[in-house]
């Protein structure tokens, strides 16, 4: 295949992935706690053609010797941008928003009994007899600092959530129940994996990545809970800037068109070569 076609076709597939990332950002512009993704590109392997045998005559040359023929580009990384989103006041007792970056709620997922992370603080009560379980909008269990489900007994009159994530449930008979929301601080967000439902997963094999669990995140318990900062009656908006995403989308589409045009022109040139008699 023509080298121009190879480079263009390689890049086309990667540009489509970038467009998918941008489209996902735009689709979640109104999703509470959503963190936008950003794709960055790197060059594929470059072939060095040494077409200058008389290198003595090239003394003083500023550019490298020979010709470097590339094979296109690929996405090197899709980064989750952790910048803080703006706060939207809801005045709802079960809505809570982090006011600092890199803090995540601990969420329990039934499939495989694993812990996921989320910035979405829109919580609900799931009644079961005389008990009420704190859950997310998708029905996943919100966990306390020990990784246990938060279950409130009795008829609830009021729920208060402090800035440090202490949930105080007041029942109609005047009783009080207290829970500490499970919160982690993520030091290396590049190791988090987006899983859908506004959830993030943790690596399965830390050793293979050259890091430990403590390198990636810290569970905020005991005295370290003073690092938690949240606000009740509010939700964190996504950090998606729609104008920037539109600009990036137009740029990516123009690059896609350019690569497609390169394939068309290479095909036309091959047609001319084949027509020579």
Tens-place pLDDT, residues 211-247: 888 899 999 999 999 999 999 999 999 999 999 999 9
Contact 97, 231 (CB under 8 A): yes
- Answer whether residue 7 shows pLDDT above 90: no
Contact 108, 143 (CB under 8 A): yes
Same domain for 263 and 165: no
Query: In which residue are the tokens 């394939």 written?
Result: 263
Contact 93, 232 (CB under 8 A): yes
Same domain for 245 and 154: no
Per the structure, the complete domain to which residue 14 belongs is given by 3-81+241-275
Q: How many domains does the chain have?
A: 2
In terms of Cβ atoms closer than 10 Å to its own Cβ (0-12, 13-18, 19+), residue 277 is exposed
Same domain for 92 and 12: no
Same domain for 64 and 99: no
* Assigned token pair, 236: 């964190």
Same domain for 64 and 105: no
- Answer whether residue 99 shows pLDDT above 60: yes
Same domain for 192 and 123: yes
- Answer whether residue 86 shows pLDDT above 70: yes
- 53 vs 175, which has greater pLDDT? 175
Same domain for 172 and 111: yes
* Assigned token pair, 148: 């246990």
Strand partners, 61: none
Query: In which residue are the tokens 């990332």 written?
Result: 21
Same domain for 229 and 114: yes
Residue 115 CA to residue 113 CA, distance in Å, equals 7
Same domain for 206 and 108: yes
Same domain for 123 and 198: yes
Q: What confidence score (pLDDT) does residue 200 get?
A: 93
Same domain for 119 and 45: no
Q: What confidence score (pLDDT) does residue 76 get?
A: 82
- H-run or E-run covering 70: none
CA 75 to chain centroid, in Å, comes to 15
- Answer whether residue 120 shows pLDDT above 90: yes
> What's the whole-number average pLDDT of the chain?
88
Same domain for 208 and 127: yes
Mark out the alpha helices in 166-241 (DSSP H runs): 206-209, 213-216
């Amino acid at each position: 295949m023509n080298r121009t076609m190879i480079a263009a076709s390689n890049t086309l597939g990667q540009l489509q992935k970038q467009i998918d990332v941008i489209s996902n950002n735009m689709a979640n512009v109104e999703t509470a706690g959503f963190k936008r993704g950003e794709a960055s590109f790197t060059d594929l392997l470059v072939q060095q053609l040494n077409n200058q045998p008389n290198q003595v005559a090239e003394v003083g040359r500023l550019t490298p010797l020979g010709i470097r023929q590339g094979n296109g580009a690929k996405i090197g990384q899709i980064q989750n941008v952790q910048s803080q989103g703006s706060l939207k006041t809801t005045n709802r007792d079960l809505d809570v928003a982090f006011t600092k970056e890199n803090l995540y709620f601990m969420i329990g997922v039934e499939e495989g009994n694993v812990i996921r992370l989320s910035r979405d603080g829109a919580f609900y009560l799931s009644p079961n007899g005389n008990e009420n379980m704190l859950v997310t909008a998708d029905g996943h269990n919100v966990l306390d600092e020990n990784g246990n489900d938060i279950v409130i007994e009795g008829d609830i009159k009021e729920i208060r959530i402090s800035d440090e994530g202490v949930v105080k449930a007041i029942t109609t008979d005047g009783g009080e129940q207290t829970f500490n929301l499970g919160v982690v601080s993520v030091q290396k967000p590049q190791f988090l994996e987006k899983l859908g439902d506004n959830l993030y997963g943790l690596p399965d094999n830390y050793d293979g990545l050259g890091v430990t669990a403590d390198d990636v995140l810290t569970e905020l318990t005991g005295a370290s809970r003073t690092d938690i900062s949240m606000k009740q009656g509010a939700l964190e908006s996504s950090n998606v800037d729609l104008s920037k995403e539109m600009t990036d989308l137009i740029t990516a589409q123009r690059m896609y068109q350019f690569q497609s045009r390169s394939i068309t022109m290479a095909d036309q040139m091959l047609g001319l070569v084949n027509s020579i008699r």
